[in-house]
Amino acid sequence: MPRESLKSKAARTEQILQLLKEEFPDARCSLDYENPLQLLIATILSAQCTDARVNVVTEDLFKTYKSAADFADAPIGELEGAIRSTGFYRNKAKSIKGCCEALMEKYEGVVPDTMEELTPLAGVGRKTANVLLGNAFGKEEGVVVDTHVGRITKLLKLTNQGNPGKVEQDLVKIVPRDDWTLFSHLLIRHGRKTCVARRPDCQACRLAELCPSVKP
């Protein structure tokens, strides 16, 4: 099979986007939050944990801790207990506390809105920064590459990379910038409904004609 050109891949990506937009018109971030700080904390908690579980935990968590100062001042053991059911709670509590201490020291408790300011914060890598910038601030700075996005874009032959950073580099070349944030939400919904990791339902997939990996 001849190698697909970047122009052809971009055109196919636009078709994929259109079909997914029709199927999931309400696609959005599935973490519950009311402000950038809440989304930051929820995203840190979402590592190796379902968004549904995170939403259960943060419903009470955000009633107790309402500001960066609250998280920064919280005893680490208390914070660990509050987030225990999200898994890896010791590391997550340490990250949340460290992150919020830095917010207090450098930004008066306000979550910054640039990649350069976000990524040095404890528990915040490029993926988390992309989540914050795209969803809380409406800034299209990159594509969030989670397990669904990495897996499905590889099946769609939009990338052949395994490293999330390299996958993102491929995707920003072919996904329209205005859709960078939405693209991830759409693929996540698609991955949960149809292109499930262990049992992809290729027969029911709206992307079947555009997917080189479709199973007969």
How far is Cα 136 from Cα 190, in angstroms, rounded to an integer? 23
How far is Cα 62 from Cα 64, in angstroms, rounded to an integer? 5
Residue 197 · residue 141 · CB < 8 Å: no
Question: Residue 5: how many CA atoms within 13 Å on its side-chain side?
Answer: 3
Distances (CA, A) of 175 to 33, 35, 194, 214: 26, 27, 21, 21
Q: Which of the residues 146, 154, 157, 166 is marked catalytic?
A: 146
Distances (CA, A) of 193 to 56, 77, 185: 21, 38, 12
* DSSP category for residue 31: S
The yes-or-no answer on residue 146 being catalytic is yes
The yes-or-no answer on residue 113 being catalytic is no
* Residue ranges in 24-156 assigned as alpha helix (H): 36-45, 51-64, 68-73, 76-83, 89-107, 115-118, 126-131, 147-155
Q: Which of the residues 9, 97, 127, 170 is marked catalytic?
A: 127
How far is Cα 58 from Cα 94, in angstroms, rounded to an integer? 17
- Residue 77 CA, distance from chain mean position: 28
Active site residues: 127, 146
